[in-house]
Chains A and B, each alone.
Chain A
C-alpha cells in the first residue's frame, strides 16, 4: 500500500491549514504561539475570509507573525497595535482586522491604546497571549508576572511591594461598555485547544456582525523564559498561572458572566 492510498480525503483526521506559510516557525519548541497562529488561520480559512483579513503584528516574539500567517499584515510599534488596527478598521469597516499581542506589548507599554480601543468599541478582535514574561528580550518581568515569580529583572522573585503586583487587564477591559466578548483560554492540551478555536470563531463572527470588540486572552507558557522543559512549563502554568488567571468566559454578548 502506497502512502497516497493511505492519505485519502476520507481517512484524514487533521490537515495543516494552507493559510500557514511554509516558513519555519521562529518560536522555541514547546511554545504556544505556533498553536495559536494555526488556530486563527484555521478559522480564517473555514470562514473563507482570507481576502478580507488584515492582521497587526506586535513587538515581541511574534513580531514576525506575518512570516507565518498567510494574510495581509501591518507590523506595529511596541504596544500600538490597537491604534494601528483602529486606523485600518475605520477606513476598511467591512474587513476583518485583528491584533496579535503579548503581555508586555498589550498590558504594559500599550495599556492606553488597549483600554481606549476597547472603550470605543472598535469593531476589531484582539488576541492577547499572556505568558507572564518578556520572551523576546530575554525573560524580563512583565506586568503579568506572578508574585514571587523569577525573571531576569526580578531574579529573586517578583516582590509586589516594590515592583507592583501582577494585574488582570482582561477583567479590567471586560468592564468597559465597548467590549462585547471577553474570554480567557489556553492551548496546552487538546481540550483547551478545541475551546480556543471555538472562541476565535465566535470572536471573528462578532466582528463580522459588527457588534463591537472581541478580546481573547490565551494564558500560555514560555518554557525558555521560565527555564523549564516544555512539559514542566505546562504543568507549572496549570498549577500557578491558572489560579490567578482563571479559564473561561468573562463577558458574553456584552454582559459580564459574573457581573
Chain B
C-alpha cells in the first residue's frame, strides 16, 4: 500500500534519509534548510533505525565528520545552504580526492556573501564545476518536486557508492520549504554487512593497512590519480537523467532545472494552449549534464532559452552542448526573487515568437 504524506521538501529529505537506511547525519543550522536536522532529531532516528544525528560546531566540522565517517564505508550525509556549503568546500575536495561516498544537500539561497534566505540557483557553477580546489566533479542531482527530494536521497547514495564519489543534491529554498504530496519508500534496514576491503576498520594480519588520504606527494602518482578520477567523472555520463516535456514537435526549447523548471512547465502549458510549439528539457542531473540530448535537440529546434534563478550559469553548458548550431538565450532572476510564468513568457515572446 502506498504511504502518502504532505511534507516540506526539507522534511522529505530527512524522512527519506531515515528510510534509506542512512547511518549518520552531521549538520549545522542555516536557513533555509534547518528543517532537515530539526525533523531528524524530532524523529529519534537512533530509535527508528540506529541512525546517528549530530549537530556539529560548524559546517567545517560537519563535512570533516562526514569525511571521517565516510571512510568507514557507511552511508553518511550532511546538508546546508550556500554560505555553509562554501565553508565545506575544502572538505568536499578532500572527500573527492580520497574517493569516498557521501551525500551533500545544498538548499541554495541568494548570494554572494550572506545574501538573502530566499530561493536562488546561483550556486550552479560551484556545484557542477568542482567547487573546491583541484580538478574534481560531484555527481549533482536537481530535484524539481518534494517527491524528487525524497527519491534522490536513496538514488544519490546508489550513485555515491557506485562511483565512490560525493553526490550533491542541488535544490533551493522554494523546493525545500514548499509542501507537496509525497509517496514515501518503505523502510530499508541499515546495512550491517558491506564491502570493507578499503575502509578503516583496524588492520588485520591478512591485509595491508587501509589509508584514507588525498595526499600524493609524488607528482607521478598524483598525475595517475588525476587521470583515474577524470575517467571516473566521464563514466558518470551513463547515469545522466533528464525529463522531456513536449519536446517531440517543439520549435523552441526551454532548458531549466529545479524550481525554474516548475515555472517553465506552466509556460509550456500556456504557449501550447495558444498553439505555439514550445518544449521543456529539464535536467535531473546537472553533472553529468544532458549534453548529448541537448545537442540532438539543437538539430530540431530554432532556438533555446535557458531559464535560471541566476545571472546565467547553466546557460554556458547549454551553449557548449549546442555549439553554435542555434541561438541560445538566457532569462534569469536574481536576488532571491522568483520569476513568474508571465515573466518567462515575455522573454519567450521577445526571443522566439515576436508576440502572440
Q: Please list the residues of chain A having a beta carbon within 8 angstroms of any beta carbon in chain B.
A: 49-54, 56-57, 63-64, 66, 70-77, 80, 83-88, 90-92, 95-96, 112-113, 116
Contact = CB atoms under 8 A, between A and B. Distances in A.
22 contacts: A50-B202, A51-B202, A54-B201, A64-B215, A66-B209, A71-B209, A72-B200, A72-B211, A73-B200, A73-B210, A73-B211, A73-B213, A75-B215, A76-B68, A80-B64, A83-B60, A83-B62, A84-B67, A86-B54, A91-B23, A95-B202, A112-B61
* Leading 10 A-B pairs by shortest Cβ distance: A87-B68, A87-B69, A84-B68, A87-B65, A83-B64, A75-B213, A80-B64, A116-B57, A74-B212, A72-B200
Contacts of B58: 112
Contacts of A63: 215
Interface of B: 23-24, 26, 52, 54, 56-58, 60-62, 64-72, 74, 76, 90-91, 94, 98, 200-205, 209-215, 217
A123 to B, nearest CB: 13
Nearest to B62: A83
A7 B183 CA distance: 72
Nearest to B206: A51
B67 A76 contact: yes
Contacts of B65: 83-84, 86-87, 90
A72 B74 CA distance: 16
Nearest to B75: A91
Contacts of B217: 64
A85 B211 contact: no
Nearest to B26: A87
A87 B24 CA distance: 9
B76 A87 contact: yes
B201 A72 contact: yes
B213 A92 contact: no
Contacts of A116: 56-57, 61
A50 to B, nearest CB: 6
Contacts of A90: 24, 52, 54, 65, 69
B72 A91 contact: yes
A58 to B, nearest CB: 11
Contacts of A84: 64-65, 67-68
A91 B24 contact: yes
Contacts of B64: 76-77, 80, 83-84, 87, 113
A74 B71 CA distance: 8
Contact of B56 (A49, A66, A83, A85): A83
A116 B61 CA distance: 9
Given A73-B209, A88-B69, A113-B61, 8 more contacts: A63-B215, A66-B213, A72-B200, A80-B61, A80-B64, A83-B60, A86-B65, A87-B24
A83 B68 contact: yes
Nearest to A73: B211
A77 B65 CA distance: 11
A77 B66 contact: no
Contacts of A57: 213
A148 B201 CA distance: 45
A91 B212 CA distance: 16
A75 B211 contact: yes
Contact of B68 (A64, A74, A96, A112): A74
Contact of B66 (A73, A74, A87): A87
A167 to B, nearest CB: 19
Nearest to A66: B211
Contacts of B70: 87
Contact of B202 (A52, A74, A80, A112): A52
A113 B202 contact: no
